């Protein structure tokens, strides 16, 4: 039995995991490696298989095929209670018939750890709930219950801590505060965290590495900045932030870049920032990387300029304005402009040109759904 | 008089209490109060009065006069001690057996069959199905099935569990069997109602926190199902302690298996000893009341309710 009290995180490896449920496949050829001590986020829409992945790691589901390795040991066949892994459940799953303190001490007592009581008190103090030790979980607020669930898992110093959308039920302000606390605790205790979420901001903000999942597969994995700057598929470019996408046949190609033609405009991407260099491809740019101008700007070859188009919507969101610009034969483009007094003041219906630097374009490996490869 | 005070007091109070004690509420409560008065309080008082009567000086059988003869309780306590002990012994054994059989059954139906609601309802119907036939008929049927020339008894003979001169009917085991059988649904249904609502995510959380399946059951499932166990055991123990059918020699018992209920029946209907029967009934009621109070207090389930 894996009762050894692991004080350092262990690395997790999923090898070729597949999980079939009656009627559908939740996970398909899933490979994943999480280095020890990392804060790793699995990000995806509901139904993408991220919770199934978590449950397989916890031992609550058995994979149809594949292996789960923890710290180099195969734990695929180990029962949940034999794994040095703890979970903070989405529903918290606190035991209603025990006090808060007994909830936190539960795991320690099962492993017959000496000083279970004292360690549990310390863990409760860590999440600043020491004064509520004698209460019942149902007497606490949602945020407090969440912290009890976190303390109950952390107190065991597991090799791997699983977080199943634990912040989903909290309101925005409390969630923000818990994100900061959670990250601080992870840095402090140095455990490996696997965090499952559908909240892209939460994932990017907290995780060292983010894996974006879609339809039972990992679409792309990497540091949040890399993922955001250089999405490789249409799904990732749209799920992680917003994207303006342009689809067209390649009309020009040189040593360092490729260009497509869309509605009479030339859109260029660096070769090393493009997944595909032949045929019909999709090129994207983030809304905040694009600018718009009332007159056609005179910019060099390192810029892309398209237009003119009509501003059909302006949204004020506080720090920035979001402009929706309809360019004939190209489509609608979103541009974010920070409200720092540098953007031109324009009204609805104004004709503008849109520009961005070539180095901010990214070329995707696939095409948006509904567009046929020629 | 109580109603007059109730009605008279209402108009003086403020709006909210007037609505609470309005004539509609009174009309709704009244049938229940009349029912309780006629069919609960009247027999209870009559039973207490009868329990204190003394035999008529004329010595006529079945003739008694009103008295405060508390000695009746001492007499029945000493005379019927074996039956009192046997009643509670049987009730305890049958309750334990019923729990042991019902818990896994209720768990299976309430938790394991959640994913297939159709089979779940079907199983539940099967649990209730025996109620469609009178329990007297079912107990008579068991008497036939377990009779001295039945295959069951031949089997016990051939396995040398029973000596050739021994039979099953009329034994303690036969009565406990009958009691267990007849009261199993009363145990299963409250357990099912409780286990149906058991949050299985808590079981997953416990196994995630290093509890083996055995520990998960003892530390989480069992404590959470205590309210079901309490109501189930009360619903079986109380009526079993007062049962007089299974232990009767007309059904599964013999003269050596008589319970309190058997003696109450005999005193009322055969010996015409009404004070003795009444005193025994009151005693049974008192003993059960004390036991149930201690049981509910000690199990400490109020936390879960």
HSE (CB half, 13 Å, CA atoms) of A117?
Answer: 1
pTM: 0.81
CA atoms of B103 and B218, how far apart (whole Å): 13
Residue B23 pLDDT > 50? yes
How far apart are the CA of A373 and the nearest CA of chain B, in angstroms?
44
Which distant-in-sequence residues (6+ apart) come within 8 Å of A180 by Cβ? none
Q: Which residues of chain B does A110 touch, with a Cβ-Cβ cutoff of 8 Å? A: 209-211, 215
Residues of chain B in contact with residue A86, where contact means CB-CB under 8 angstroms, are: 208-209
Nearest CB partner across the interface for A97, out of B208, B209, B223: B223
Q: Is B22 helix (H, G, I), strand (E, B) or coil?
A: coil
The answer to whether A19 touches A26, Cβ cutoff 8 Å, is yes
Residue A320, strand partner residues: A338
Fold of A234-363: OB fold (Dihydrolipoamide Acetyltransferase, E2P) (2.40.50)
A184-A188-A194 Cα angle (round to 5): 70
Is A225 exposed, middle or buried, given 0-12, 13-18 or 19+ CB atoms closer than 10 A?
A: exposed
Residue B8 has pLDDT above 50, yes or no: no
Name the residue facing A106 among B199, B204, B209 (closest C-beta): B209
CATH tag for A12-229 (out of 3.90.700.10, 1.10.3720.10, 3.40.50.2300, 3.40.50.300): 3.40.50.300
Residue in this structure with the two tokens 């790793």, named with its chain if needed? A40
Average pLDDT of span B226-233: 92
Which residues of chain A lie closer than 8 angstroms to B220, CB-CB?
95, 97
A194, B233, B239 from B190: Cα distances, Å: 41, 9, 15
Query: Mapping DSSP to helix (H, G, I), strand (E, B) and coil, where does residue A30 land?
Result: strand
Q: What is the pLDDT of residue A83?
A: 94
Q: What is the DSSP letter of B37?
A: I
Mean pLDDT of the region B276-302: 87
| pLDDT score at A46 | 87
**Which CA distances in Å does B109 have to A225, B121, B123, B197?**
51, 8, 7, 12
Q: Which pairs count as long-range contacts for B254-262, CB under 8 Å and 24+ apart, including other chains?
A: B254/B169, B254/B170, B254/B171, B256/B170, B257/B86, B257/B170, B257/B171, B257/B172, B257/B174, B257/B175, B258/B83, B258/B86, B259/B83, B259/B86, B259/B87, B259/B90, B259/B175, B260/B80, B260/B83, B260/B84, B260/B87, B260/B284, B261/B87, B262/B83
Query: Are the C-beta atoms of A211 and A221 separated by less than 8 Å?
Result: yes
Residue B284 phi, psi (nearest 5): -60, -45
Q: CB pairs below 8 Å between A and B: how many?
A: 65
Per-residue tens of pLDDT for chain A, all 374 residues? 333 344 567 899 999 999 999 888 899 889 999 999 889 999 999 888 999 999 999 999 999 999 999 998 999 999 999 999 999 998 999 999 999 999 999 999 999 999 999 999 999 988 889 999 999 999 998 888 988 998 999 899 898 999 998 887 677 777 787 788 788 878 877 889 999 998 888 888 889 999 999 988 999 999 999 999 999 999 999 998 899 999 999 999 988 999 999 988 899 999 999 999 989 999 999 999 999 888 888 888 899 999 899 999 999 888 888 999 999 989 999 999 887 776 667 888 889 999 999 999 999 999 998 776 65
pLDDT the model gives residue B19: 56
Q: Between chains, do B209 and A85 touch, taking CB under 8 Å as contact?
A: no
Mean pLDDT value of segment B84-100: 96
For B248-283, letters b (16+ CB in 10 Å) and e give: beebbbbeebbbbbbbbbbbbeeeebbbbbbbbbbb
Q: Where in chain B is the domain with CATH 1.10.3720.10?
A: 72-304
Name the token pair of A284: 């994207």
Task: Tell me how far CA of residue B74 lies from CA of B47, B77, B269, in angstroms.
Answer: 17, 5, 22
Cβ atoms A26, A216 nearer than 8 A: yes
Q: With an 8 Å Cβ cutoff, are B207 and A81 in contact?
A: yes
Backbone angles phi, psi at A43, to 5 degrees: -115, 135
Q: Can you spell out the DSSP letters for B220-276?
A: IIHHHTHHHHHHHHHHHHHHHHT--STTSTTTT--GGG--HHHHHHHHHHTS--HHH
Q: Which residue of A has its CA nearest to B213?
A: A81
Q: What is the pLDDT of residue B78?
A: 93
Confidence check: pLDDT of B107 > 80 = yes
Mark out chain B residues that contact chain A at CB-CB < 8 A.
199, 201-202, 204-213, 215-216, 219-220, 223-224, 303-304
SS3 A228: helix
Residues of A with Cβ-Cβ distance to B201 under 8 angstroms: 89, 91, 93
* E strand intervals along chain A: 12-21, 24-34, 39-43, 65-70, 73-74, 85-88, 160-164, 192-197, 209-214, 217-222, 244-253, 257-262, 265-270, 280-285, 291-293, 303-316, 320-327, 331-338, 351-357, 362-363
What are the sequence ranges of the domains in chain A? 12-229, 234-363
Assess whether pLDDT exceeds 50 at residue B4: no
A81 with B223: Cβ contact below 8 A: no
Per-residue pLDDT tens for B234-260? Answer: 999 999 999 999 999 889 999 899 999
Where does the pLDDT of residue B57 fall: very low under 50, low under 70, confident under 90, or very high at 90 and above? confident
Check CB contact under 8 Å for B202 and A93. yes
A144 vs B2, which has greater pLDDT? A144
Residue A235, exposed/middle/buried by CB under 10 A (0-12, 13-18, 19+)? Answer: buried
Q: Contact, B252 vs B139, CB < 8 A?
A: yes
Report chain A residues whose CB lies below 8 A from the CB of B207: 59-60, 79-81
Q: Which of B201, B212, B213 sits opposite A91 (nearest CB)?
A: B201
Q: Of A200, A178, A176, nearest to A43 (Cα)?
A: A200
Question: What percentage of chain A's residues is helix, strand, coil (to nearest 5)?
Answer: 25, 35, 40
Is CATH 3.50.50.60 the right assignment for the domain spanning B72-304? no
Q: What residues are paired with B65 via a beta bridge?
A: B54
């Amino acid at each position: 039995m894996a009762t050894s009290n692991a004080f350092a995180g262990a690395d997790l490896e999923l090898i070729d995991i597949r999980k079939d449920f009656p009627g559908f496949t939740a996970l398909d050829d899933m490979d994943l490696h999480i280095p020890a001590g990392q804060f790793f986020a699995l990000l995806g829409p509901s139904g993408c298989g991220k919770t199934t992945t978590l449950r397989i790691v916890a031992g609550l589901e058995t994979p149809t095929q594949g292996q789960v390795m923890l710290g180099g040991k195969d734990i695929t066949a180990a029962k949940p209670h034999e794994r040095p892994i703890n979970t903070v459940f989405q529903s918290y799953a606190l035991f209603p018939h025990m006090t808060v303190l007994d909830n936190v001490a539960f795991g320690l007592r099962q492993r017959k750890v000496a000083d279970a009581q004292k360690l549990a008190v310390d863990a409760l103090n860590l999440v600043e709930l020491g004064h509520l030790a004698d209460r019942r979980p149902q007497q606490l607020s949602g945020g407090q219950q969440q912290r009890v669930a976190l303390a109950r898992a952390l107190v065991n110093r597991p090799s791997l801590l699983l977080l199943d959308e634990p912040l989903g039920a909290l309101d925005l302000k409390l969630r923000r505060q818990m994100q900061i606390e959670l990250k601080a605790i992870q840095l402090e205790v140095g455990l490996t965290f696997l965090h499952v979420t559908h909240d892209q901001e939460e994932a990017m903000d907290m995780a060292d590495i983010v894996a974006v999942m879609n339809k039972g597969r990992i679409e792309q994995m990497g540091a949040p900045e890399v993922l955001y700057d250089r999405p490789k598929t249409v799904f990732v470019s749209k799920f992680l932030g917003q994207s303006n996408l342009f689809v067209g046949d390649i009309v020009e190609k040189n040593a360092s870049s490729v260009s497509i033609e869309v509605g009479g405009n030339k859109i260029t991407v660096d070769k090393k920032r493009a997944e595909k260099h032949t045929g019909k491809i999709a090129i994207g740019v983030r809304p905040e990387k694009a600018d718009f101008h009332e007159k056609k700007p005179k910019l060099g070859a390192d810029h892309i300029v398209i237009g003119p188009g009509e501003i059909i919507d302006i949204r004020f969101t506080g720090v920035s304005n979001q402009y929706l610009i309809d360019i004939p034969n190209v489509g609608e483009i979103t541009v974010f402009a920070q409200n720092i007094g540098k953007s031109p003041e324009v009204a609805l219906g104004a004709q503008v040109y849109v520009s961005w630097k070539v180095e901010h374009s990214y070329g995707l490996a696939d095409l948006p759904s509904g567009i046929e490869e020629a | 008089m109580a109603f007059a005070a109730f009605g008279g007091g209402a108009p003086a109070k403020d709006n909210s209490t007037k609505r609470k004690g309005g004539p509609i509420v009174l009309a709704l409560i009244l049938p229940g109060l009349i029912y309780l008065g006629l069919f609960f309080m009247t027999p209870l008082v009559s039973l207490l009065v009868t329990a204190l009567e003394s035999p008529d000086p004329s010595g006529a059988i079945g003739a008694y006069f009103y008295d405060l003869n508390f000695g009746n309780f001492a007499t029945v306590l000493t005379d019927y001690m074996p039956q009192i002990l046997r009643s509670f012994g049987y009730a305890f054994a049958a309750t334990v057996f019923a729990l042991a059989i019902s818990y896994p059954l209720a768990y299976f139906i309430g938790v394991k069959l959640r994913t297939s609601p159709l089979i779940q309802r079907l199983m539940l119907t099967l649990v209730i199905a025996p109620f469609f036939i009178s329990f007297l008929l079912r107990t008579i049927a068991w008497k036939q099935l377990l009779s001295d020339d039945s295959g069951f008894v031949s089997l016990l003979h051939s396995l040398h569990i029973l000596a050739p001169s021994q039979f099953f009917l009329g034994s303690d085991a036969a009565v406990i069997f009958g009691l267990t059988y007849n009261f199993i649904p009363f145990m299963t249904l409250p357990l099912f109602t409780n286990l149906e609502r058991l949050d299985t995510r808590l079981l997953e959380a416990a196994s995630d926190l290093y509890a083996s399946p055995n520990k998960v059951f003892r530390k989480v499932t069992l404590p959470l199902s205590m309210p079901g166990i309490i109501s189930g055991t009360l619903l079986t123990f109380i009526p079993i302690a007062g049962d007089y059918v299974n232990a009767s020699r007309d059904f599964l018992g013999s003269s050596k298996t008589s319970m309190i209920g058997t003696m109450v029946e005999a005193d009322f209907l055969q010996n015409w000893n009404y004070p003795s029967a009444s005193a025994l009934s009151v005693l049974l009621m008192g003993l059960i009341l004390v036991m149930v109070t201690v049981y509910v207090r000690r199990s400490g389930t109020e936390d879960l309710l």
